[in-house]
Structure 1
Amino acid sequence: MTKRQECGLVKFWRAEAGQIGDVLEVLDEAAQWLTSRGVRQWPTHFDPAWVEPAVSRGETWLVTVEEKPAATVTLDWSDPLWADDADCAGYVHRMAVRRWAAGIGGQILAWVMALCTRR
């Protein structure tokens, strides 16, 4: 799979070590927004150690709109919480969209579904 994929104005970039700050900014903004609405799904601040392993494995993507980081999504090919056979499913983790880009979540999930289908 290539480093970059496009879906209209939305572009998907495999996150690299130097982009962990961008990934964390998106996650933190989404987490704080959830918390402000009483949703206790995530901490208000993500520790870099929580995302670094997935970035180093090439599982985390930055989603840009007009070259600005708008969202992030991590796609794993196994999950210990599920009893599926290895490599038979993709698991979405840490999907977050910045508020100014609200509405692109469906496009992100459609991209993930297409990626899983191709695999």
Structure 2
Amino acid sequence: MSYVDGYILPLPAENVEAYRAMAQCAGQIWIEHGALSYKECLGDDLSSEWSSDSFPKAVNASANEKVIFAFIEFESREHRDEVNTKVYEDPRLEECGDMDEPPFDFKRMAYGGFQVLVNLKK
């Protein structure tokens, strides 16, 4: 089974396009270095009758913030480590955006690495 790095973060609504450009740039670098897939998703329907918690609540999103749910797929954890090392050493990553003033608050981002438990595709 593959391995996934996943994260959620709050994003000020006015920064969606800046974030999209940053993610598009960074995602291309991840793919070039071997990631199997790279997805950045903008929250659209985040209310749930099945859960007492929600994505906006998990990242303490305010009324003027959107929620990003993203994941990068790799062959394995070892492959993830190899790809991420190459990505973080790639000088082009600095061209993807100003990390001194990013379009979102890193402190409110939730991140983790996950072993894929079920992987169904059509």
Q: Say whether the fold is shared (TM-score over 0.5).
A: no
Greater RCO (CA < 8 Å, at least 6 residues apart)? 2
Q: In terms of Rg, which structure is larger?
A: 2
